[in-house]
Structure 1
Amino acid sequence: MSIVPKENVEVIAQSIGINNLSPDVALALAPDVEYRLREVMQEAIKCMRHSRRTRLTADDVDGALNLRNVEPIYGYVSGGPLRFKRAIGHRDLFYIDDKDVEFKDVIEAPLPKAPLDTGIVCHWLAIEGVQPAIPENAPVEVLAAPPDSKKYEQKDDGIPVDIKLPVKHILSRELQLYFDKITELVVSRSDLVIFKEALVSLATDSGLHPLVPYFTCFIADEVSRGLNDYPLLFALMRVVRSLLQNPHMHIEPYLHQLMPSVVTCLVAKRLGNRFADNHWELRDFTANLVASICKRFGHVYNTLQSRLTKTLVNAFLDPKRTLTQHYGAIQGLAALGPSVVRLLVLPNLESYLRLLEPELLLDKQKNEMKRHEAWRVYGALLNAAGQCIYDRLKMFPLLPSPAPQSFWRTSQRVITMPNKRKGSVEHMEEQPPLKKIATDGHTDA
């Protein structure tokens, strides 16, 4: 049995001019009316929940009707309560008391006073470049290009396909000139003083946010095709640091485009094409840049540092990677902090030293360049482990300083104790350090 009685159906039929509706038809229509009402109310409740509200309003019902391609009911607002009156002759039938208003009285009535309170409605104009389909935003058809500017393409079956033109991003003439000047300095004049002034401008100017996507694409393109140009790569990383330092730029949506370029300058196999290119300095600079990115945006992107450390650890433990890639990975992990070194580098230190030992020895590695790279990696490991140990030592209380060196005064002469430490150091210098490293490794094992 339907919760909508047939009397309601009869009254509604009489209100729209149907006076001879039979009781059987009203009884058959009542279940369908109940089904439609439940359907609309379920959609309205969905609209309410998507709006993060707990009170159902007339706007939710209008939204549900729009979803069902039904014209909304006009004249109902959520401003105040509705007044219902009991229908004469029916015990459980109510109707809304609508007062009849003369059109002439409405026209001749004086204008109401301006409201004192100001209402503000907030809505998303665009979310990361995508405009949500809400009533406050203009429909997509209004923003589309005119019909005459559309292009059509014929398929094999002869059906025309509508090709939408890309949306144009309008920049002022001043911003275009600024972007062209910065890119010119980065590509060809990164060693001049004016380039340093341009970096200061990138880090402080408050009107450069519209250029962030253009700088991001420029950096990604130049890094991908300029790995043999060391000055260009260093200039690009300095531009990235200046962009990150600018407090007026909202750069979080573009980090997924910047990070591959930055990580490439850290763990790439080859950076620069000349022997004089100091790619070690570039990797050190990029490691500090990566650490600053994780420190600043780690709370916004929870997986940023975990994904980065996974990439660096894979590069560090992969024996097929070159020593320059291992160096960049170690420097990147060390820049992330002593905790990362303690958890990811130190447990793998013994096995990695076994891999590195043949590259350090003169009798096993005849290539001087390879040995130099191996010693660079060994120095990076020493630096990372030393920072980790120093961080752990800070947890202990300070130890008392040792007593001053003892001496005796006999017949106006000073007799000092022999410096055993100096002799031991000299003795260590006489021993080949590479052999000592190998011996320590076997002893720990």
Structure 2
Amino acid sequence: MPAPSFMGIYPADSVQEVHSSLPLDPLGPGAADLLAGDVEFRLHYLLQEAKKFMVHGKRTTLMPEDIEHAMEALNIEPVIVPPRPLPQAPFLAVPVPSGTSGAQQQLYTVVDDEIDFATYLKEPLPPALANSAGVKWKAHWLAVEGVQPAIPENPAPSSRAGPSRLPAPTTGAASLRPSAKQHLTTELQLYFSRLTAALIPTLAQLPNLPGNSTPSAPQYSFPDAERHRLAALASVRSDAAVAGILAYLVRWVAESINKTLMGATGTIGCLVDVVEAILDNDVLFVEPYLHQFLGPLLSILLTVPLGPHPPPSGMTPTTIELRTRAADVLAKLVTLYANGYPGLVPRLLSTFKKALTSSPFPSPLGSDYPPAGRYEGAVLGIGACGAHAVREAIWGTNGDGLRSINDLIGLLYPGEGRRNKAPLVRATMRALQQLTTPKPEGATVPPPDSAEVAEVFGPHFVRAFEKRPWQAQELMRLRKGSNGDAAAVQADAAGEEDEEMEEVQA
């Protein structure tokens, strides 16, 4: 299938030239066209934001300052900042004789200065280039005869073992960069500070939230921290004022999730609620920030280990509940924007299939069994991509994909215990619900034959199908229908071959 062609102002040859200058893997077919289209979209969006500053400045000419202000508002750090004002090269008049009359004409040209490289390389870098985000290289000794030298480039011995505790998500005015404080009004800064402080309760208040309350607490009790959090979520879900701080709120959510992946699961759950509230707000224009949401959600689904270790007793929510919650938010994101971005679901499905088909790896925490969280999250993520993704990545051909998951369960959960096998089995059955019709009210279905289920799908799914007889019956019917369709196709093909042979003989 040929790669899609994109008509625009940014050529794909520029992407190829940049790629050839960097030590990267070869680009696939059509990748340069896709990247060129993405670059052109971001250029259009940057110019659109710069035009707003031009209009507010009551001008009809776009200035370089408008581009700089737009990059600061979009939280884009320029690689090289040119000096202001830009230097103007002087023109030198060179006399040129014309004809035999002796008259001379003046030809104006720019003089090219001669640069002494030995002197130029010794000079310090310009301030803008020295403070830019460009890559800098500096050679230093990592170790000398097995001993790491005590130089500023190497970590101190006290910090090599890692931090003593995980950094907490930053809330309040401290999470705003100085450039943001210059562009946001005092009211929006105060709104951002109050909002971020209320969206994440402190670790001391997390056990008192609904669902985590102690047995002695009265039922349906809402402490002040939970009431403030619900009010902040309602503000994010419905207020139009969030549009003024949307770029900073999205960056804060993404950075906070990355900081707390091994922190309290309650904090991660609160941040997932913020992502869902942003998607529910119909006033906000969220499409430019989709890529900033995908990374944190995929991290929650596929990161191992997730949450504190060792996990405290009675930890709420559990890791499988947290991954299920992230999968629900990802499903909402796919439902809203998959039609506008055709490449969204294939990219997600490719990532989840790669995680599901990867070989089990030893536990990073020293456990006897390989970690299963990545595979549970991969199955939940495939279910969030829709029924077509479930049919392709989990069901397979006539249900053969369930046999692969059954073999994977045997590797991840050795032994006869069934309790630990429940998360991956439940995630698989939850995804398979999209392939079956809902159960009619009042319908009674006999339990399936355990021997047939074990033979077709694997012994680890027997108990799950016994608890869901309607789903088992629908999946068996789907498998038999697929086999019937395949047999009919083969019969039609054989009939066509016989007819062709008869025509040839005639």
Q: TM-score, normalised by structure 1?
A: 0.53
The answer on 1:345 being equivalent to 2:394 is yes
**Identical-residue share of aligned pairs (%):** 21
Q: Which one of 284, 287, 306 corresponds to residue 327 of structure 2? A: 287
* Cα separation, 2, equivalents of 1:209 and 1:372: 46
* Cα separation, 2, equivalents of 1:125 and 1:350: 47
Q: Secondary structure at the match of 2:126?
A: strand
Q: Secondary structure at the match of 1:188?
A: coil
* Cα separation, 2, equivalents of 1:269 and 1:217: 23
Following superposition, the deviation at residue 343 of structure 1 comes to: 1.5
- When residues 155 and 144 of structure 1 are mapped into structure 2, their CA distance, relative to the original with a 3 A threshold, is farther
* Residue in 1 that maps onto 2:408: 355
Question: Equivalent residues in 2 for 1:198-237 (5 A)?
Answer: 198-227=232-261, 228-237=263-272
CA-based RMSD of the aligned residues comes to 4.3
- When residues 155 and 226 of structure 1 are mapped into structure 2, their CA distance, relative to the original with a 3 A threshold, is farther
* Cα separation, 1, equivalents of 2:244 and 2:233: 17
The answer on 1:260 being equivalent to 2:295 is yes
AA aligned to 1:127 is L
* Cα separation, 1, equivalents of 2:67 and 2:339: 36
The answer on 1:157 being equivalent to 2:104 is no
Q: Which one of 60, 66, 83 corresponds to residue 136 of structure 1? A: 60
- When residues 439 and 257 of structure 1 are mapped into structure 2, their CA distance, relative to the original with a 3 A threshold, is closer
- When residues 149 and 373 of structure 1 are mapped into structure 2, their CA distance, relative to the original with a 3 A threshold, is farther
* Residue in 1 that maps onto 2:373: 324
Q: Which one of 189, 193, 212 corresponds to residue 176 of structure 1? A: 189
* Residue in 2 that maps onto 1:307: 347
* Cα separation, 2, equivalents of 1:148 and 1:267: 45
Following superposition, the deviation at residue 333 of structure 1 comes to: 1.4
* Residue in 2 that maps onto 1:246: 281
CA contact (8 A) 1:229 1:271 kept: no
Following superposition, the deviation at residue 253 of structure 1 comes to: 0.8
Q: Deviations over 1:90-116 (max 9, x none)?
A: xxxxxxxxxxxxxxxxxxxxxxxxxxx
CA contact (8 A) 2:355 2:375 kept: yes
* Cα separation, 1, equivalents of 2:68 and 2:393: 53
Following superposition, the deviation at residue 361 of structure 1 comes to: 5.6
CA contact (8 A) 1:128 1:253 kept: no
CA contact (8 A) 1:360 1:375 kept: no
Question: Equivalent residues in 2 for 1:31-180 (5 A)?
Answer: 126-127=46-47, 129=49, 136-140=60-64, 156-158=121-123, 161=126, 163=128, 170-180=183-193
* Residue in 2 that maps onto 1:381: 428
* Cα separation, 1, equivalents of 2:45 and 2:289: 19
Q: Secondary structure at the match of 1:207?
A: helix
Q: Secondary structure at the match of 1:163?
A: helix
AA aligned to 1:158 is E
Q: Deviations over 1:31-70 (max 9, x none)?
A: xxxxxxxxxxxxxxxxxx98xxxxxxxxxxxxxxxxxxxx
- When residues 333 and 144 of structure 1 are mapped into structure 2, their CA distance, relative to the original with a 3 A threshold, is closer
Count of residues in correspondence between the two structures: 279
The answer on 1:188 being equivalent to 2:191 is no
AA aligned to 2:192 is F
Q: TM-score, normalised by structure 2?
A: 0.47
Following superposition, the deviation at residue 384 of structure 1 comes to: 2.5
* Cα separation, 1, equivalents of 2:461 and 2:231: 53
Structure 2: runs of 5 or more not aligned: 1-7, 10-43, 70-81, 86-118, 132-177, 210-225, 362-370, 463-478, 480-506
CA contact (8 A) 1:267 1:324 kept: yes
Q: Secondary structure at the match of 2:122?
A: coil
CA contact (8 A) 1:125 1:131 kept: no
* Cα separation, 2, equivalents of 1:160 and 1:358: 56
* Residue in 1 that maps onto 2:382: 333
* Cα separation, 2, equivalents of 1:231 and 1:350: 35
Q: Secondary structure at the match of 2:183?
A: coil
AA aligned to 1:312 is F
Following superposition, the deviation at residue 320 of structure 1 comes to: 2.3
- When residues 163 and 378 of structure 1 are mapped into structure 2, their CA distance, relative to the original with a 3 A threshold, is same
Structure 1: runs of 5 or more not aligned: 1-48, 51-123, 403-420
CA contact (8 A) 2:47 2:67 kept: no
Q: Deviations over 1:211-261 (max 9, x none)?
A: 111112111211112112211111111001111111111111111112101
Q: Which has the higher contact order (CA 8 A, sep 6+)?
A: 2
Q: Secondary structure at the match of 1:318?
A: coil
Following superposition, the deviation at residue 313 of structure 1 comes to: 1.4
Following superposition, the deviation at residue 428 of structure 1 comes to: 7.2
AA aligned to 1:341 is V
Following superposition, the deviation at residue 136 of structure 1 comes to: 3.5
